[in-house]
Amino acid sequence: MKKNFTLKSIFAILMLFCVISSYSQERTCGMVEYMEQQMQDPVFAKEYELNQKKFKARLQEMLSQEDFSQRGATIVIPVAVHFPTGNEADRDCLEALAQNQIDILNADYSGTNADISQWTSASANYPGINTGSANISFCIAVSNHPVGLDPELLEGNPAVTIGYNFGGGTETDPAWGGYMNFLIKPLGGGTLGFSPFPGSIAAGQAVTMNTFAFGSGAGCPGSGIVPGAPFNLGRTVTHELGHFYNLDHTFTGSCATDDGVADTPNIVNPTYGCPAAGSVAGCTATPSLTMSYMDYVDDACMYMFSAGQTTRVDAYVSGVLQSQLKPNVCTPASPGFNLTANNSPILSCPTTDTQAVFDLTFTTVSGFNESTTFSATGAPAGATVTFTPGSLSSDGNFTMTIGNLGATAQGVYTITVTGTSSPGNIVETVDVVLDNSCTEIVCDTYGSATGLNLSIPDGTGFTGTQPGTPLTHVINVPDSNTIEDIKINVDISHTYISDLLVLITHPDGTTIIDVWNGDCGSNDDFDVTFDDAGGVINCGSPTTGTFAPNTALSTFYGLDSQGDWTITIQDFFEQDTGVLNDWSIEICSLQSLSTEEFLVEDFSIFPNPNTGEFTVNLNSSSSNDITIDVFDIRGRRIFNNSYANTADFSEVVRLNNVQSGMYLVTVSDGDKKATKKIVVE
């Protein structure tokens, strides 16, 4: 059966979904229903009312001015464009398409678009109505990019991410706060796009567009980003951005209400297709302003904002958003360089480790080529610091080795790595963390029984407002540890899995996230591991793999793991049914290394670093078998073997097909244990 309602949890921001029917190729929007839903959330309602209060005060101030030319300098809005499903090989094309959309927006919002010339003849039907020009412009940011998010996002190049999992698969990413974000990704059900109404730049919210409703022209077929008629002129972004800036649709469903703009004639219903100017009747003698960007006509037939609409845009941008904009990111960066840390923090222990090796990257900006020398401050007293290589003048990687750890005190050290160029004396820094506290990250999995076969109560209606009774199930975690990382697996057999909302509740009873939120349309069944590091959900029947949840699991970081964890599953539509098969939680935490150790001279590993093959030597006077375990940095065992003891024990360990990185080697001699870290290159 076909369902037109797209489920979104009450924890999501207010979205205005503009949808293309697969049959009529017409836009529709569910604004009223979503607004009613979101206003039930008191946190959202409070923020909404505060922003509207600021907006109304600024709007009244502007309307009281007789000379609108005194609005001040044009507000420049920095933009970042995100293609999570794009191909890096298409970067040049995607950057050009992003700029193409920016050019469209600058023309549309300033009233300088070529097709506004149609207003000359159309205006006779609309006495007293003039076209508007907003006091804003858009630019793609080119400097001071957020670091560590997309390795191909180079300083000096446009703020266009490719393959970056924006917001962990959601439409809000705090790392991109300060930017006007455009998120381009496949959307189910023919959805054109959606936007918060109105939006927050400080929160890192995005206007989200489908792959066929962004930009104009040929697009980038290699990444599946191709504008499709009749929405192939970039006007859908203009429309959705209007919502972000507090513009409602021109139609309201009743002649008794309006859109809050005095010079847009009241109309009841949206207009589709490409009607002639003045041909659609309104609620008064003035006909419908069908060519407004806030109606539903095809891209080719929407070409203007009214003066009242752009005044409303200016009031929201200047009264609410201007203070949220990230400054000085639209002008090219001066020649220079950036330093990036790739594997911080590192865990170490003075009684088991001899060194810690940090991997760093040196990236030049705007043709910079001066020789840059590296130094560090903040290392533990007694440690040695070595850089390899000690300087760079072009893009490359380098390492910082903190040696002689056996002579250092336990503690957490923030080490500042400094690059100093010559002759320009440009200085840049990056901080890394050495957790020299004899701890390790240990991951434990807690699961339900398999084959639970718990029925998920069916919904009782087709509108999405009559959900079934929630199904709940509890996993008890007996261990009390501070959560450093978490993954959750959920296995459900169900037809039409977009009917479902899946929530996970922490034992405190108040911290709740949604891992599944009406995803994957009419597909059947999913067995998904939710991980913040996962990508966008790749839907199938069944849907399997590791993907980012709807709400970030990092919400649970820093909380205690102990207690009853609850999964809640709710079905929002009738007829399609299913069961919860099983679910599990993997919780990673910092735990102390064993305190009972060999003397340092009795236990050695060489070479270190190595390529995955190393020798373990020790002197033992016991008759116990010697057991060697190797764990990755997250505590997962990747090697285990026992050996007959000899007075001068020496064994070669070979880790087959192991990835480069840090590993823990634990040697057990009866009740005694020793742990050392190795680096596999």
Give 615-619 contacts, CB < 8 A, sequence gap 24+.
Answer: 615/650, 615/651, 615/652, 615/653, 616/649, 616/650, 616/651, 616/653, 616/665, 616/667, 617/648, 617/649, 617/650, 618/649, 618/667, 618/669, 618/674, 619/647, 619/648, 619/649
Band of the pLDDT at 69, cuts 50, 70, 90?
very low
Q: What is the DSSP letter of 464?
A: S
- Same fold? 336-438, 600-680: yes
pLDDT of residue 463: 47
The arithmetic mean of pLDDT across residues 5-13, rounded, is 35
Cis geometry, peptide bond prior to residue 350 (ω within 30 degrees of 0) = no
Do 212 and 227 contact (CB within 8 A), yes or no? yes
- Give 34's pLDDT tier (boundaries 50, 70, 90): very low
Task: Determine what percent of the chain is predicted with pLDDT higher than 90.
Answer: 56
Is 240 among the residues known to form the active site?
yes
Which residue ranges make up each domain of the chain?
A: 36-61+74-324, 336-438, 441-592, 600-680
- Indicate if the pLDDT at residue 404 is higher than 60: yes
Give the whole-angstrom CA distance, residue 641 versus residue 649: 14
Q: Does 33 have pLDDT greater than 50?
A: no
Chain segment 486-522, per-residue pLDDT in tens: 999 999 999 989 889 999 999 999 999 999 988 887 8
| Rounded average pLDDT over 643-671 | 82
**At 22, is the pLDDT very low, low, confident or very high (cuts 50, 70, 90)?**
very low
Give per-residue pLDDT as tens, 409-446.
999 999 999 999 999 999 999 999 999 988 888 888 99
- Listed in sequence order, the residues at least 6 apart from 583 whose beta carbon sits closer than 8 Å to its beta carbon are 447, 448, 473, 475, 488, 489, 490, 491, 567
The dihedral of CA 432, 435, 440, 446: what is its sign?
A: negative
**pLDDT band at residue 71 under the 50/70/90 scheme:** low
Tokens (6 digits) for 662: 């840090």
Q: Can you point out the beta strands (E) in 404-552?
A: 411-422, 427-436, 439-447, 454-456, 471-477, 483-494, 500-505, 512-517, 526-535, 543-547
Tens digit of pLDDT for each residue in 160-176? 999 998 988 888 888 99
Is the confidence at residue 537, as pLDDT, over 80? yes
- Tell me which of 95, 155, 171, 240 is the catalytic residue: 240
Please, what is the angle between helix 91-110 and helix 235-244, to 10°? 60
Which superfamily, per CATH, for 441-592? Galactose-binding domain-like (2.60.120.260)
40-66 tens-digit pLDDT:
556 556 667 777 787 888 888 777 765
Confidence of residue 25 (pLDDT cuts 50, 70, 90): low
Residue 562 amino acid letter: Q
CA gap 546, 534 in Å, rounded: 6
- Predicted confidence band of residue 17 (pLDDT cuts 50, 70, 90): very low
The SS3 call for residue 92 is helix
Q: What is the pLDDT of residue 45?
A: 65
Residue 23 has pLDDT above 60, yes or no: no
What is the pLDDT, as a whole number, of residue 663?
80
Give the 3-state secondary structure percentages of the chain, helix then strand then coil, rounded to 5. Answer: 20, 35, 45
> Picking from 32-36, 306-310, 490-494, 677-681, which range would have the lowest pLDDT averaged per residue?
32-36
User: Measured between alpha carbons, how far is 82 from 97 in angstroms, rounded to an integer?
Assistant: 12
The pLDDT value recorded for residue 72 is 67
Tell me the whole-structure pTM to 2 decimals. Answer: 0.57
Specify the CATH superfamily of domain 36-61+74-324.
Answer: Collagenase (Catalytic Domain) (3.40.390.10)
The arrangement of secondary structure in 600-680, i.e. its CATH architecture, is Sandwich (2.60)
The confidence score (pLDDT) of residue 633 equals: 60
**Structure confidence at residue 420 (pLDDT):** 98
Q: What is the per-residue pLDDT across 180-190, written as a single tens digit (0 to 9) for each?
A: 999 999 987 67
For the chain, counts of helices (H) and of strands (E):
6, 34
Q: Which residues contact 192 (CB under 8 A, 6 or more apart)?
A: 18, 19, 20, 27, 209, 210, 213, 231, 236
Quick one: pLDDT at residue 226?
95
Residues 581, 450: Cα–Cα separation, whole Å = 6
What pLDDT, on the 0 to 100 scale, is given for residue 529?
96
More reliable by pLDDT, 11 or 555: 555
Quick one: which of 29, 61, 60, 34 has its CA closest to 48? 34
DSSP string, 200-242: -TTTTBEEEE-TTSSSBTT-BGGGTB---TTS-BSHHHHHHHH
Predicted pLDDT of residue 24: 44
Residues 503 and 567 sit within 8 Å (Cβ to Cβ): yes
Question: DSSP strand E in 437-499: where?
Answer: 439-447, 454-456, 471-477, 483-494
Indicate if the pLDDT at residue 2 is higher than 60.
no
CA dihedral 103, 106, 109, 113 (to 10 degrees): -60
pLDDT surpasses 60 at 16: no
Identify the CATH class of 336-438: mainly beta
- Give the list of residues 6+ apart from residue 648 with CB closer than 8 angstroms, or none: 617, 619
* Neighbouring C-beta atoms of residue 269, cutoff 10 Å: 12
Q: Two tokens at 120? A: 């000359």
Residue type, 17: F
Q: Which of 26-40, 190-204, 435-449 has the lowest mean pLDDT?
A: 26-40
CA gap 310, 314 in Å, rounded:
6
Report the C-alpha gap between 316 and 309 in whole angstroms: 11
CA-wise closest residue to 652 among 589, 590, 599, 607 = 607
- Single out the residue of 222, 270, 218 nearest to residue 16, CA to CA: 270
Average of pLDDT values for 593-606?
58
pLDDT in tens, 340-399: 899 988 999 998 889 999 999 998 887 899 999 999 999 999 999 999 999 999 999 999
